[in-house]
Structure 1
Amino acid sequence: MMKKKGKVADQDISRLTDLGPSPTEEAICHTFDDYQCTGNIQVDFPKLCALLDFKKIPRVISKTLETEGEEQPEENVPRTTTVWSKPHLNVELENKNPLSAKSVKIMGWKVHGKIVQALNKILLHLSKLESLYFWQAGLTDEMVKSLSNTVSLGCSLRYVYLDANPLPNHSYYLLLSEDSVITRLFLRSNEIGDEGARLIGSALSTAKTSNKSLQFLNLAFNCIGDAGAAYLAQGLRLNRALLYLSLTNNRIGDSGAAQFSKVLREFPLTHEEVVERRKLLFQKEAEKMGLNFGADTDQPDEEQDGRSSVGKPDNKVTAKKKEMAKKEEKPEKGTVKKDNVKKGAQKNPKAPEKVPPAKGGKAAGKKKPAPPDTPEEKSFTELVESKVEIVNPLLDPHVQCKDGQVFLPGNTILMYLSLAGNAITEKSLPLFLTSLEQQTKEGLLRLLLNRNDFPHDCELYLKINKLLQNRNPFNKPKTEAAAEEESH
């Protein structure tokens, strides 16, 4: 019988070396903790499950990236019923080397805690792994918590798909800690409501913390209402990493939409944010002068031309301050210049330079990313190539003081926002139009508002689409069908 194209046959794998412990080593590995993973999932997974005394060990099916006709989940369809399939682990290999796993997929069967325990140990030894799928897998809060701990330990995992896994305690936010390396997170059809949105919004940013890795977040087909939308918008105030946010098919109305429109344009800082900004400015000034002392948060805040008088040095350090000021200020470690996000927008704000796709979908000198879910995501993935560093927005030099309040420029890093299929009316359109008009050099490239409670030929809606089409480097005209597909 001929082997299927791209499939690594069991007999081929058995001929390869370094597939597992030698007989001597195997005798030593009496416990789960003693076992040393090899990076070959077809060997490690069944052995670890056996050491955990798991009786019905799921089969591991390995295929190379060139395999055609690969099974795909119906991820865009909200689930009202659960139908479990026969347990098996799908492993996608970069090539026929069993150590080259690029993705691991569990689709439509309920996982056991011991399965996740075994996978968590294996993930740390998969040097090429990029994506992990748990689609309709019956995950629990404890399983997601253990997965978040594994990722924070240095796993190479970047793309995580947890669609159709409702969690009572909404523990998805644990994957968005400050030290998380996940860049793409899909949480569709998870019955996430306002409380889950609150946790996710806080993980995106607070006055003191901010996620600096996540670029794509898909929350489509959930139960997020106006309160949840407000929490997520709050998380976007000081987050300068997220580029793509989908809230398609939720329960957001005009009140929630208004919160998103506010964060896209200039907004006043809260007292907590002003205090944190004062601390950061003081510490930055101290570092420039080579001093080592803390910030006095009780000093009054005086904002002039984006600078603060907090932490003024005495005459003994004035000379040193002037000397340090002459040197070119270096970017702070782990921070990013927002001006570098879109190179095309710098040259000509009215007609951003189109970013051509690299041949074969791969940028020179960089790893090929996991295949995007939609053509729109592919375009934004290419545009993200110019994203290099992240600046703490509280240190933005364009901060202004007006009417006794400190105003921060709005979030212009977010490039894609989908609010399609919600309960937004024509009342919200002037707010979005005003925000978009204020974003002269950077900001949203796509704002999906189709399938809401206003006619598609509404004048303000058409004006918004025209404005975005002129600034979007991928401004090919979109048909209604294409817009519908992208909004998912």
Structure 2
Amino acid sequence: MKRQKKSKRDKSASHTFTQGPGSAPKQSKAPPVEEIENEVPIGAILNPLGQLLELQFFHTTVPGLLLRILALCIPYQHHLTRITIRWGIIDCYTIHEINRILPQSQISELYLDDSPLPHRCYALLLIYQTRLKCLSLDRCRLDDDDCIEIASKLVHPYPASKNITTLSMASNMISNTGAGSLATMLRSNRQLRHLNLTGNRISNNGAVAILTSLMHFPLTTDEIVSKRLRTIQYIKLRQEIYSKCFNEVLISSAGVENRSDDRRASRKKPTARLKSVPATSLIKALSEEDAIAKAKMMTTELIGTNNEPFNRDYTFVRDGLLYSNGNLTLCYLNLSYNNLGHPSTVKLVEVMQYQEERRRSELGLVRVVLDGNPLPESSYELQQMQRLFDRTDMTNVIKTVRKSEKISQRIVRR
């Protein structure tokens, strides 16, 4: 007799009934749905093309394991430039994982507002070379020790001093000691454009220290020695890289010449040939000049220019002392709601007058916010500041900002 092929349904039925006595048939049941206690809500902002721009964590704990998982995906998100953690519960392990993500991503803005740490770990974000340009630590319970740690990582030539342009530490507990560390940082930092210190405990001494770094000041012995060491190290490094690049250019050009000679040899030689000694020597001379120029370009692309803040172009000698021209790159300074008085306004007028005389390629101070300080409603210094702002077209900037705010309010109302 021919065996009949069993269908899948018959096979499953026979498998069920051939089990031993007292054994229940195996059935695939869905797992019970339970409430997830460790749920982490994540907000994502996309552009019209569906590309990820920002990740948001609001009112939640940010576990380090989640960041380790995100670290596997973030390098492939080339449009992700911002991470916001607000009212979050984070620890040093979270900062450590974020610090691992930054070097291999395109993230340029990091907002940790209202997310205080039990230990001082914020400075870990500024150790390595990253693309981070904006760091916001508003209402994070920062004190002077935290400010000193952060400012020490922004001193030239540390990696963070080359890319951080915006630093916000509003509504913290920073006093004159922390402001003094920021003043020391501003002596050599030539990248920071925006500094927000509103709502702290800074008085006249701290404000005057910050403003003093924005005008000419004598260099200390340590600054002069470190400047010379950096210059010598840069010259040595440039010579080493230049020699390697020059040899590579010569080797590559020699290979091209050998291939061209082989092609010429394969062709038939003409019966009559003119002397070409001057032409070949001229070509060799030109090729050497091209090789030197190409090697210099390659060297500059590899190590960059010497961005020394105390070089000859930014220093001068007076009474036997070496002076710096001061920091002319800081454009925005917010010192509102502190404890500033009349001496701060006097120093600010001096700074603005000094920068107005030396303003060339750099803008210098464009906007200073002093609201909420115990200052008189009108004084000679405040009037002088208004005149200086008028000369720098500051009133036009304020008008455009107000117009844009009105337009945005109209759009929201509609």
Identify which of 409, 419, 426 aligns with 2:342: 426
Contact preservation (8 Å) 1:134, 1:163 = yes
The answer to whether structure 1 residue 159 and structure 2 residue 95 are counterparts is no
Tell me how far 1:290 sits from its aligned partner.
Answer: 7.4
Distance 1:274 1:139, change over 3 A: same
Distance 1:237 1:178, change over 3 A: farther
Q: RMSD across aligned C-alpha pairs, in angstroms? A: 3.3
- Matches of 1:151 and 1:475 in 2, distance apart? 38
What is the match of residue 311 of structure 2?
A: 395
Alignment of 1:54-203 (within 5 A): 56=37, 58=39, 87-95=40-48, 97=50, 100-152=51-103, 154-203=104-153
Structure 2 spans left out of the alignment, 5+ residues: 1-34, 243-288, 404-414
Identify which of 155, 163, 176 aligns with 1:205: 155
What is the match of residue 328 of structure 2?
A: 412
Contact preservation (8 Å) 2:53, 2:81 = yes
Contact preservation (8 Å) 1:180, 1:211 = no
- Matches of 2:212 and 2:353 in 1, distance apart? 13
Q: Secondary structure at the match of 2:188?
A: coil
Q: Secondary structure at the match of 2:310?
A: helix
Tell me how far 1:397 sits from its aligned partner.
Answer: 1.9
The letter for the 2-side match of 1:453 is: P
Distance 1:335 1:400, change over 3 A: farther
- Matches of 1:334 and 1:426 in 2, distance apart? 49
Tell me how far 1:291 sits from its aligned partner.
Answer: 11
What is the match of residue 475 of structure 1?
A: 396
Deviations 1:61-108 (A, max 9, x none): xxxxxxxxxxxxxxxxxxxxxxxxxx41111112364xx111110111
Contact preservation (8 Å) 1:418, 1:449 = yes
Contact preservation (8 Å) 1:280, 1:395 = no
- Matches of 1:267 and 1:129 in 2, distance apart? 41
Distance 1:390 1:445, change over 3 A: farther
The letter for the 1-side match of 2:185 is: G
Tell me how far 1:137 sits from its aligned partner.
Answer: 0.7
Deviations 1:9-66 (A, max 9, x none): xxxxxxxxxxxxxxxxxxxxxxxxxxxxxxxxxxxxxxxxxxxxx96463xxxxxxxx
Tell me how far 1:215 sits from its aligned partner.
Answer: 1.1
Distance 1:203 1:392, change over 3 A: same
The letter for the 1-side match of 2:47 is: E
Deviations 1:277-296 (A, max 9, x none): 1123334555787799xxxx
Tell me how far 1:149 sits from its aligned partner.
Answer: 1.8
Distance 1:128 1:286, change over 3 A: closer
Tell me how far 1:403 sits from its aligned partner.
Answer: 3.2
Contact preservation (8 Å) 1:101, 1:129 = yes
- Matches of 1:291 and 1:157 in 2, distance apart? 30
Distance 1:456 1:175, change over 3 A: farther
Distance 1:209 1:91, change over 3 A: closer
Contact preservation (8 Å) 2:227, 2:308 = no
% identical aligned pairs:
24
Q: Secondary structure at the match of 1:166?
A: coil
Q: Secondary structure at the match of 1:232?
A: helix
- Matches of 1:289 and 1:474 in 2, distance apart? 49
- Matches of 2:108 and 2:159 in 1, distance apart? 21
- Matches of 2:121 and 2:399 in 1, distance apart? 36
Greater Cα shift, 225-234 or 265-274 = 265-274
Contact preservation (8 Å) 1:210, 1:238 = no
The answer to whether structure 1 residue 247 and structure 2 residue 197 are counterparts is yes
Distance 1:101 1:476, change over 3 A: closer
What is the match of residue 453 of structure 1?
A: 374
- Matches of 1:246 and 1:180 in 2, distance apart? 22
Distance 1:148 1:181, change over 3 A: same
Greater gyration radius: 2
Greater Cα shift, 171-180 or 259-268 = 171-180
Q: Secondary structure at the match of 2:314?
A: coil
Structure 1 spans left out of the alignment, 5+ residues: 1-53, 59-86, 293-322, 337-388, 483-488
Q: Secondary structure at the match of 1:106?
A: strand
Contact preservation (8 Å) 1:240, 1:393 = yes
Contact preservation (8 Å) 1:266, 1:408 = yes
- Matches of 1:156 and 1:209 in 2, distance apart? 16
Contact preservation (8 Å) 1:225, 1:251 = yes
Greater Cα shift, 165-174 or 416-425 = 165-174
Alignment of 1:292-331 (within 5 A): none
Distance 1:420 1:55, change over 3 A: same
Deviations 1:174-207 (A, max 9, x none): 2223502111111100011101110111111156
Distance 1:285 1:137, change over 3 A: closer
Q: Secondary structure at the match of 1:95?
A: coil
The answer to whether structure 1 residue 436 and structure 2 residue 352 are counterparts is yes
- Matches of 1:404 and 1:475 in 2, distance apart? 43
Contact preservation (8 Å) 2:110, 2:135 = yes
Distance 1:287 1:143, change over 3 A: closer
Alignment of 1:223-262 (within 5 A): 223-262=173-212
**TM-score under structure 2 normalisation?**
0.68
Identify which of 144, 152, 172 aligns with 1:222: 172
Distance 1:400 1:208, change over 3 A: farther
**TM-score under structure 1 normalisation?**
0.58
Q: Secondary structure at the match of 1:133?
A: strand
Tell me how far 1:122 sits from its aligned partner.
Answer: 2.8
Distance 1:95 1:395, change over 3 A: same
Deviations 1:255-289 (A, max 9, x none): 10011111000112222210121123334555787
